[in-house]
Chains A and B, each alone.
Chain A
Amino acid sequence: MRNFLFLSMLLFTIAAVAQNKKEYKFNPVSIADFNVQSPLIDSNVNAVVLADVGSSEFVGNNNGDFTLVFKQHRRIFLRNRNAFEAATVKIPVYLGANFLTEEKFEDFDAATYTIENGQVLKTKLDKSGVFTEKLGRDRVFKKFTFPNLHEGCIIDYQYTIKSPFYTRLRQWVFQGQYPCLWSEYRVAIPSLFNYFTSQQGYVPYTIDTVWSVYKTYSIVEQTGVSSSNNIYRISGNATMALWAIADVPAFKTENFTTTPDNYINKIKFQLGSITYSENNVRQVMKNWFETSTDLMKDEDFGLALKDPNGWLSDVAKPTASDTNEYLKIKRIYEYVKNTFKCNDHDALWLSQPLKKTFQNRSGNVADINILLTALLINHGYQASPVILSTRGHGFANESSPWLSQYNYVISRVTADGQSYLLDASDEKLGFGRLPEECYNMSARVVDEKMPVLIPLKPDDLAESKSTVVFVINSENEKNQMEGSFTSNLGYFESHDVREKLSGGKPEDLLKDIKKALPSDITIQNFTADSLKLYDNPVSVKFEFKYGTGDEDILYVNPMMGEGYSKNPFFAATRSYPVEMPYPVKEIYMLNMEIPKGYKVDELPKSARLKFNEDEGSFDYIISASPSGITLHCKLELKKATFKPADYDVLRDFFAFVVKKQAEQIVLKKIK
């Protein structure tokens, strides 16, 4: 089990032990290839990737520069028609501003192989069958689909992409929807480029080797006069690397996972530096101090924060009622939050100048929270942008300033010795609150002097819900019970309710509550407090009435519909960690009069269950006296993330909760 072997400098991890460096060789498709034998294949497998081999290599070009040549060759056995979707392929290709900066899609070759009359039949996919679909301004898809598909056929394709964007060494994903017998990636990098690599995944590598060879690259610079082109020869040790995994199982998604991207086997690259000569080294990847400095100088990020931004001086000015710094900051936050609409919650860079965001009243999350930061600074506060990666975007490696890992910007402000993290991109958030998606382990303050790491662990969140129910005998009517229901929701649940209700009326909430109740319960005086007071959690209250009938025996579930009716962990097994958004704390209290004319015949037994010693507990304490019944039910899980090994315990724990909460009180008529 190897996971998160983060960041190694290619150059320095040259294997001491000689390993297999032999490239995979594709043999012509033969009858034997249709009879694939592998322990990975069972009745659940629709397709098997027989081999997926890629390479990235630098070559000198005629424009005085390097070209990055990426090749892929893939061969897939389609066992049944549910895998036919794998026969329609989309390959993204980047286009730049002109032909010099355009990626070239070349050397396309593809065919379907079937068995006809005991012979392998090859049906070629003609080049004219490759279509180009425009995708935004600078990207196209090359799209094609294979002819003559049959259950049990093999498809095979290869292509080359020649790219001028040599800082973007393509990543390699070893694991996918189908099992793969052999996945291999090799790179060859001239010594002047130093790349960092990041490997992740649970499946061990079969080959993981780096070595160096002496190589000469020729670069031609055209001077315009054909006879006098300049030719440069760059020689030295080139870094070679080969990674391969045999028998990669298919990746299967599970519930309660931040993103599958955190767990699939893949390898990524980031250019660290370029060594033009011994004395001329361009650092591309730097430390957090340098990166923060660069970000604050970048016009697409923090440059505008250096300006006095005088145009902001009259905005959100404190009023007489803002008697302290907290209230003044809050006014600024509320102003930004309520004025600007976020049109993209996945952005690290500004989409437009701050002034434009101010005029348009809308922008992406970076636009809005950097504007907030600018406003705070303009009003004399110490504020900085903070960057993070949201849960859906995957974990960021904390130590490396690898900016493509980040996709979200918030703001930190300090006043009166107190720091607040603010996100003004969501008007339904309270002051100092962040959305669930931000709790993805940590965030980084972009500050040249102190680029500190801020922990944002879901395990540290406190989410707590409490519900109190009172039930008494109706004074006016026989066989009638009345009561009140009050539930103070947890903060994140409140946020969900507010989102769901947005633009609607509180009564819409009542409709949902009614749906879950039997039709013979009457509800009145429904209120939902704090729906618009975003600093506070929502509290729901209503009164209810129901008839008990005149039966000899009454059965009452004391949870009144508030319990878990279904185990949230329904899958029988688990391979990856369980990542819930926050820990759980739910308290339920019932105080109920015994219906007139009845006595308790049987009560559920009180129970107490611990989860992994001190990581959680479930208390169900019930007691009856002649006047009434009280129940105190508390469910608590002190953390949000659990190892796969804890899964069975977690599932059993909730199974117990579900079972206990379903139990009934039995009341008998006094005769």
Chain B
Amino acid sequence: MRHILFFGLISLTFFAGAQDYRVSLIPDSLKAEANAVKRFEELRVIIRSTEKAVIRHKYAITILNEKGDPYAYYENDYSNLMTLGDISGRLFDADGRQLRSVKKKDISDASASDDETLLTDTRIKRYAFYHKNYPYTVEFEDEQECNGLFFLPYWSPVENQKFSVVQSKLTVEVPEGYELRYRQFSIQKEPAVTKNKSVIYTWELQNFKAIDFEPLQPEIREILPRVYIAPSDFSIAGYHGNMRTWKDFGLFINELNKNRNALPENIKADVHRLTDKLASVKEKAKALYEFMQKNTRYISIQLGIGSWQPFDARSVSEKKYGDCKALSNYMVSLLREAGVKANYVLVTAGERRKGLTEDFPSPYFNHAICCVPDGKDTLWLECTNQTVAAGFMGTFTGDRKVLLIDEDGGHVVRTPVYKAEDNLQLRKIEAVVDIEGNLTADIHTRATGNQQELMHQLIYEATKEQREKYLNSVLSLPTYSVEKTNYTENKGEIPVIDEYIRIKASGYASVSGKRLFITPNLVNRSGTRFTNDSPRKYPVEFTYSFMDVDTIHIQVPGGYTTEALPKDQHLQTRFGNFDITYSINGNSIDVIRKQVRNRMTISVSEYPELVNYFETIYKTDRSRIVFVKKEGNP
């Protein structure tokens, strides 16, 4: 027995023995195009029970140049639900000699709160090795203990573009009989499984060469290897559940949200005053949504299980603030008081995100909203935005799979997808150019759906002065000033905003001797260019459809004739259409530009066509009309 004990003591140094960090050991193919190379990594998740897990992480990264410096910085967080300890780290030179190690007192500790957070128990520990003799290697190690199983770490061995990996390993150890759930992305090989007293799953990645990201590429997990793991049965903060199915996941959320819908009497009275006389579900929902918007604001408070459990409706009623969970739960409570069926919904929010992974129930959510299900008339409500129209789900939450929580558990549903005709930008420009080339333009723009999001912000979040300051900096005109602005909004499930601006641009048209040069497309110039320098590796994703129509009328001074007029263009492709026509009638220019873009994924084989398409638009949008003075004129 003594013998075994001795053996056990040795194995207390948990990870493999000293590593050889000589940079010369890195294959050249992994150094090429990389700013940093992960030499070694072991992420070890030990699930001890349904409520305890330990995460041990050790890794070493060689920094090849200045752009790799951020990988020499250590950062990890902790909270009431997860401890963080045993942080150690070492710095090595190119020959693998140890130069320094982390001193505990130099590890900084800060709150994770940001400008919108009133309170959070999440704190961040940070440490940085500052070193400038490249290449150098850092090694870090830490340990976390989860008090409650819910969110488990994911393995993402390739941390970024221009980052290669010599070797990285994920092992997950679970008690015998415990069902571990996992989902692999961009990685084919199934894990190796060994069974002893516990069951150990192992994934490994070796010799991964650095890649470059590409614009409008798919989500990262579709490009880089990643493994998500999730519990089956779990307990956290006294709550129990399992997430084998979305249905079960939803039942757990119901547990968390239980008894949090009670409203104080005065709010109940408000609900009935506002809705009792209204006939339809939609009218009631809209009235209560406006009430919620008027009477609340967004404040983030995240404490312990509170980062998953909403504050109850009573406290929102009294304090008149809450985070996305609290406000959505409050909205659901108001609707229920009015006898309207409503659901709490969990979302993966953010632009260009695709939503939950349907075949892998897991807690990858960062937002909550409210849904009023009513067949075709289903209404979606974003409760942290106090100015948006009821029913509109823009680029932050629209077009993705979300989890709707009902009494019988969770249901995967999709938020609205908008067509090109829903996301319009219709613009009409009436402009006059004087003999010095100064331009005055009245620009009327109607924007709808996703295309009105920026204008919506300009209306509600900026003062008139800030709006004008912004408008005075964004247009691609050389020297100009915005003289008048006006916005009118027509709130609807697809919001519509009409913008009017008058601009004066001195010297917009270039007048030289006998000629006048003018670029008739004043404000809607496509900036998209795809490079043909290297072959495309990943598909291009356009995440929403839209349509732009610009009708431009420019009056030029008399006495000129047209010398050069750009060619009309009619491009028809699978991913979009572009049409532009030019005509000169006496002293005026008429241009009609129409662009339609389709929500779709464009394969690598279609990429060359895409490059040409956008290059033509780029050039066309900047092309000039040249006028020359009529002969005989002074």
Contacts and interface: CB of A to CB of B under 8 A. Distances in A.
Interface string A619-663: 000000000000000000000000000000001001100110011
B297 A81 contact: yes
A396 B507 CA distance: 42
Interface string A352-373: 0000000011100000000000
A604 B512 contact: yes
A488 B35 CA distance: 29
A503 B68 contact: yes
Contacts of A467: none
Interface in B109-148: 109-111, 113, 115, 118-119, 123, 128-133
B66 A502 contact: yes
Interface string B614-629: 0100110000101000
A483 interface: no
Contact of A503 (B35, B131, B133, B321): B35
Contact of B100 (A88, A131, A360): A360
A566 to B, nearest CB: 6
A655 B506 contact: yes
A136 B111 CA distance: 9
B319 interface: yes
A88 B299 contact: yes
Interface stretch (A142-150, A201-209, A211-219, A238-246): A142-150
A143 B465 contact: no
B478 A133 contact: no
A343 B130 contact: yes
A511 B437 CA distance: 34
A654 B479 contact: yes
Nearest to A504: B67
Contacts of B481: 572
Contact of A566 (B113, B386, B478, B626): B478
A234 B299 CA distance: 49
Interface string B469-496: 1001100111111000000000000000
A555 interface: yes
B513 interface: yes
Contacts of A335: none
Interface string B250-283: 0000000000000000000000000000000000
Interface string B52-74: 00000000000011111000000
A118 B472 CA distance: 43
Nearest to B611: A519
A244 B241 CA distance: 61
Nearest to A82: B461
Given A361-B133, A605-B513, A567 B67 contact: no
Interface in B18-52: 35
Contacts of B64: 503
Interface residues of B, number: 67
Nearest to B111: A133
B564 A44 contact: no
Given A343-B128, A572-B472, A659-B507, A555 B118 contact: no
A20 to B, nearest CB: 34
Contacts of A150: 294-295, 320
Nearest to B66: A503
A46 B467 CA distance: 14
B100 to A, nearest CB: 6
B99 A663 contact: no
B463 A44 contact: yes
B299 A145 contact: yes
Contacts of A81: 297, 386-387
A150 B291 CA distance: 12
Given A81-B386, A149-B297, A45 B132 contact: no
A604 B516 CA distance: 11
A565 B478 contact: yes
Contact of B529 (A131, A502, A515): A515
Contacts of B130: 341-343, 360-362
Contact of B563 (A144, A553, A566): A553
B321 A145 contact: yes
Nearest to A569: B479
B472 A571 contact: yes
Interface in B304-343: 318-321
Contacts of B129: 362
Contacts of B131: 341, 361-362
B71 to A, nearest CB: 12
A178 to B, nearest CB: 11
Interface residues of A, number: 62
Contact of A45 (B463, B479, B514, B563): B463
Residue of A131, A145, A503 ringed by the most chain B CB atoms within 10 A: A503
Nearest to B99: A361
B544 interface: no
Nearest to B513: A602
A38 interface: no
A43 B464 contact: yes
Given A131-B119, A145-B321, A663 B514 contact: no
Contact of A147 (B319, B512, B517, B564): B319
Interface in A139-176: 143-145, 147-150
Contacts of A514: 531, 533
A147 B299 contact: no
B515 interface: yes
Contacts of B99: 361
Contacts of B217: none
Interface in B516-569: 517, 529, 531, 533, 563-564
B32 to A, nearest CB: 11
A518 interface: yes
A136 B110 contact: yes
B510 A664 contact: yes
Interface in B372-414: 386-387
A551 B624 CA distance: 15
Contact of B319 (A143, A148, A504, A519): A148
A575 interface: no
B132 A361 contact: yes
Interface in A501-519: 502-504, 511, 514-515, 518-519
A658 B478 contact: yes
A339 interface: yes
Given A150-B294, A602-B513, 17 more contacts: A44-B464, A88-B118, A88-B299, A134-B111, A143-B119, A144-B118, A150-B320, A514-B531, A518-B619, A567-B478, A570-B472, A572-B481, A602-B514, A605-B513, A659-B479, A659-B507, A666-B515
20 contacts: A44-B466, A82-B461, A131-B118, A134-B123, A144-B118, A148-B319, A150-B320, A339-B132, A343-B130, A362-B130, A503-B66, A511-B533, A564-B478, A566-B477, A570-B479, A570-B480, A605-B513, A662-B510, A664-B515, A666-B515
> 5 closest A-B pairs (Cβ-Cβ)?
A503-B67, A503-B65, A659-B507, A362-B130, A503-B66
Interface of A: 43-46, 81-82, 84-85, 88, 131, 133-136, 143-145, 147-150, 338-343, 360-362, 427, 502-504, 511, 514-515, 518-519, 551, 553, 555, 564-567, 570-572, 602-605, 651, 654-655, 658-659, 662-664, 666
Interface of B: 35, 64-68, 99-100, 108-111, 113, 115, 118-119, 123, 128-133, 294-295, 297, 299, 318-321, 386-387, 437, 460-461, 463-466, 469, 472-473, 476-481, 506-507, 510, 512-515, 517, 529, 531, 533, 563-564, 615, 618-619, 624, 626
